[in-house]
Amino acid sequence: MNVSETEQMAEDDTAPSSRAGASSPLSAAGVTGDAHITIRGLSKSFGDAVIYDNFDLDIPRGRFVSVFGPNGCGKSTLINLIAGLIEPDAGTIRFDGKRLRDTNFGYVFQNYREALFPWMRSIDNIRYPLKFRNISRVEQKERVERLVERLGVTIDLNKYPYQMSGGQQQLVSIMRSLVIEPEVLFLDEPFSALDYEMTLFMRDQLQALFMDTKTTMVFVSHDLEEAVYLADDVMLLSRGPAEVADYVNVGIPRPRSAATISDDEFVRVKAHCLEVFQKLVRGT
Amino acid sequence: MKSLSKILGPFTPLIGVIILLLVWQIAFWVEVVDHVLLPSPTSMFIAVWQGMSGGQLLFDFFRTIERTALSILYAGIIGIPLGIIFGSSVGLYRSVEFVVDFFRSTPASAVFPLFLAISGPGDATKIQVATFGAALVILFNVAYGVMNARKTRLQAAKVMGAPRFRVLTDVMLFESLPQTFVGLRNGVSLALIIVIVAEMFIGSVDGLGHNVLDNQMLFEMPRMYAAIFVAGALGYSFNLLFLLIERRYVHWSGR
Ligand SMILES: Nc1ncnc2c1ncn2[C@@H]1O[C@H](COP(=O)(O)OP(=O)(O)OP(=O)(O)O)[C@@H](O)[C@H]1O
Ligand SMILES: [Mg+2]
């Protein structure tokens, strides 16, 4: 463990310049004291395309980490590897030292239409993951009720998903991933199929949820503003093979709101990320 | 024409029926064909009425329903699980695809003598051949439905902790249901065709196929037409029945 941490330090020194106070994954992890997800020596190729080559990363506990990077750099691949949807060629991924199968995690897909089960009512969709967790039917029902109450959800969950708006469906999808009270939540561009108004609403729902639960979140976004707005840390990935180009701390207090967008610190962080991103895109 | 369908509303499809009956009636009056070969629509409907109110036709009608229903039941029991198994493994499906496709394309009537030789001319043979034909159609469609299951849904079930078998029963099965119903509807049409043909074979003593052939040989034309009409109505009803079941239970299809 110590050895690889030193290795990681060394690697991070070679990364593009970082702002003060927002440097390596380890220092970011240091903010809260410990790493929740530890990735060591991760490699993954698709045919000739090397997406990850001996990749190391620590994801800190209880923080909201936004992953941002150019198209096709491997953002989805990263969370799919961590969530066990694809097998790595090499490397280890541990959650507090545990393997994935011993970990309670949630995953929210971009395409809610294809991720929810249209043959089940929304309420049954939400309850579904509890079926595999040795929980009595009564307890299952209570858990869903508690979640509904905590989120203050007012939509009629007895409807089928196809009877709901896109935002409502994605909300159901998020609730389904939360009902198991996950330690970690992965979200792959969860709002990109929603209209702008719904996106704004869902961002704040997600933020409230994060503040409430302090669940470790790994959030992939195509929208830099959104990535910064929601994040404690923004991780900028470079392309081919992917490296952490920069790891930026966003120290803006929560709850953030529409006013945050014009906040000096927000503008500065966003401009910095954009600069790094543009260097990446031009560089490769 | 548009305004006509607006005025008639749900009765619009009746126009075709009325035209058909009119043409038939006129052909009868003009005597395009001998009256013995082409009786009037009225005499056919009288024969339908007489036959179906406790006559031989009603009995034959039920025999055909029984055989077809049994065939489609067995075909479903065989075809659906096999379709799910083959469809859930691309390698497995590729290895049997040709065989399934070949037999699916083979006219079931061609394998009749084979089944006759094996099982004799009894009732079982008819059901076996119809089951064979329908099962292949169902298998093919179910496998296709399973193969085209949304990958995201399977992944979703997996990340939620569903074991492999539950992914099959909770997701694959439902994902393939719309295509399964396509298979069932095609299968029941095919089963009915095979059953009716089988009932015309030597050794048959009942069923609509037997009724049609029997009346043809006796030159009882109104009765023969009546049996054909009832066979048609039966095929249509089977199809409609499956459509209604599908609408009721596969409510998400196409949404
Ligand atoms: N199953 C696969 N087979 C082959 N290549 C793949 C597969 N999945 C991803 N790739 C390739 O790997 C690279 C990284 O893909 P990934 O989906 O992780 O990118 P991304 O960063 O999420 O991109 P986007 O911003 O478009 O969502 C891409 O070049 C993609 O074409
Ligand atoms: Mg992606």
Residue nearest to atom 6 of ligand 1 (CA): A46
CA of residue A188 to ligand 2 center, whole Å: 7
DSSP character at residue B140: H
Residue at A114: amino acid letter: E
CATH topology of domain B42-249: MetI-like fold (1.10.3720)
Subunit contact A85:B158, Cβ cutoff 8 A: yes
> Whose CA is closest to A7, among A20, A25, A21?
A25
In DSSP terms, A199 is beta-bridged to: none
B152/A111 touch (CB, cutoff 8 Å), yes or no:
yes
CA-based max dimension of chain A: 57
What is the C-alpha separation between B156 and B142, in angstroms, rounded? 21
Rounded to the nearest angstrom, the gap between the alpha carbon of residue A125 and the centroid of all alpha carbons in its chain is 21
Residues with Cβ within 6 A of ligand 1? A 46, 49, 51, 69, 71-77
Q: Do A109 and B171 touch (CB under 8 A)?
A: no
How far B146 CA sits from the closest chain A CA (Å)?
Answer: 15
Beta bridge partners of A38: A58, A94
- Which residues in chain B are closer than 8 Å to A83, comparing Cβ atoms? 159
With vertex at residue A41, the alpha carbon angle to CA A37 and CA A43, rounded to the nearest 5 degrees, is 105
Q: What is the pLDDT of residue B100?
A: 85
**Residue positions counted in chain A:** 284
Residue nearest to atom 5 of ligand 1 (CA): A46
Residues 6 or more apart whose CB falls under 8 angstroms from that of A264 comprise: none
Share of chain A above pLDDT 90, in %: 63
SS3 B253: coil
- Separation of alpha carbons A22 and A212, rounded Å: 25
Is A247 strand, coil or helix? strand
Ligand 1 atom, smallest distance to A78 CA:
18
A118, A128, A132 ranked by CB distance to B252: nearest: A118
Enclosing H/E stretch for B190? helix B173-199
Picking from A198, A192, A206, A193, the residue whose alpha carbon sits closest to that of residue A256 is A206
Low-confidence ranges of chain A (pLDDT < 50): 1-32
Half-sphere exposure at residue A206, Cβ-oriented, CA atoms within 13 angstroms? 33
pLDDT digits (tens, 9 = 90+) for B168-220: 889 988 999 999 999 999 999 999 999 999 999 877 899 999 999 999 999 99
Q: Which of B159, B174, B177 sits opposite A85 (nearest CB)?
A: B159
- Confidence category of residue B153, pLDDT binned at 50, 70, 90: very high
* B51 residue type, one letter: G
ipTM: 0.79
Residues of A with a Cβ under 8 Å from any B Cβ are 83-85, 105-107, 109, 111, 114-119, 128-129, 131-133, 160, 162, 176, 180
Please give the pLDDT value at position A169: 92
How buried is B135 (Cβ within 10 angstroms: 0-12 exposed, 13-18 middle, 19+ buried)?
buried
A210-244, pLDDT tens digit by residue? 998 899 999 999 899 999 999 999 999 998 788 99
CB spacing of B155 vs A132 below 8 angstroms: no
SS3 B143: helix
Q: Where are the domains of chain B?
A: 42-249
Task: Residue B202: count other Cβ atoms within 10 Å of its Cβ.
Answer: 6
Cα-to-centroid distance, A268 and ligand 1 (Å): 30
Residue A58: both structure tokens together: 């620590």
How confident is the model at residue B109, as a pLDDT? 81
User: What are the C-alpha distances in Å from B183 to residues B30, B64, B144, B191?
Assistant: 44, 20, 10, 12
Candidate from A73, A218, A281 with most ligand 1 atoms within 8 A of CB, to mutate: A73
Q: Looking at residue A150, what is its pLDDT?
A: 82
Q: End-to-end CA distance of chain B, in Å?
A: 31
